[in-house]
Chain A
Amino acid sequence: KAGVTQTPRYLIKTRGQQVTLSCSPISGHRSVSWYQQTPGQGLQFLFEYFSETQRNKGNFPGRFSGRQFSNSRSEMNVSTLELGDSALYLCASRHFPSGTTDTQYFGPGTRLTVL
């Protein structure tokens, strides 16, 4: 079974621009979560989508948004980029709901650099 895929793998943007990152979950997985990883703040939860609806949101400004499509693929968007948005953005997928706890499996990440 193919793993979680994320595109693009690397991005360079300038301040003020916006960016869209894409995530394709493992086949059959219906939930997609996004995390931001920075040297200063570590790994932080951004949001989770299930059935095209956001079901959980982390403590990030409204510039960070996401959506999920009917095939469970997800995109996240960051508008008006700031230098501090430079990070590795990781996407994770899981079955949910499965009746038992399920594990989040991560993709390779998109490394965003804001200049």
Chain B
Amino acid sequence: AQKVTQAQTEISVVEKEDVTLDCVYETRDTTYYLFWYKQPPSGELVFLIRRNSFDEQNEISGRYSWNFQKSTSSFNFTITASQVVDSAVYFCALSEGALGTDKLIFGTGTRLQVFP
């Protein structure tokens, strides 16, 4: 069965701290895609990154970085030098199928609060 687990319900940090959001997934497919979305208080889900199951290269985009490890079925997200604007709920999601054509299965989200 497909499942995404975000064990951290809420994380609070002080500005400039580094923070890692954990994501563990379950799937029987060999071809799948993983995503991270950010949901600020306004409600819109903002796309952050997409990763396919054949590409385990880690990725860095500015203060954001992602660590994909198939061996542990994890796709963790790190924010370096966090800022107040990073405060939001972050969702990890899984999509199965060769073209990522299936529905998105979301984790329960991690609420990140960054205090000044």
Contacts and interface: CB of A to CB of B under 8 A. Distances in A.
Interface of A: 33, 35, 42-45, 48, 56, 58, 88, 90, 92, 96-109, 111
Nearest to B98: A101
Interface in B44-88: 44-47, 50, 52
B30 interface: no
B108 interface: yes
Interface string B83-116: 0000000010001000111111111110000000
A101 B50 CA distance: 9
Interface residues of B, number: 24
A45 B104 CA distance: 7
| Main SS class of interface, B | loop
A101 B33 contact: yes
A101 B43 contact: no
B43 A109 contact: yes
B106 A48 contact: no
Given A43-B106, A58-B103, A100-B99, A108 B44 contact: yes
Contact of B100 (A42, A43, A102): A102
B103 A45 contact: yes
A55 B45 CA distance: 23
Interface of B: 33, 35, 37, 42-47, 50, 52, 91, 95, 99-109
A61 B107 CA distance: 22
B101 A97 contact: yes
Task: Give the residue among B35, B37, B103, B106 with the most A Cβ atoms within 10 A.
Answer: B103
A43 B44 CA distance: 12
Contacts of A90: 43-45
Nearest to B102: A56
A108 B50 contact: no
B104 A104 contact: yes
B112 to A, nearest CB: 17
A106 B44 contact: yes
B109 A103 contact: no
A86 to B, nearest CB: 14
A97 B106 CA distance: 22
Given A35-B104, A106-B45, A43 B99 contact: no
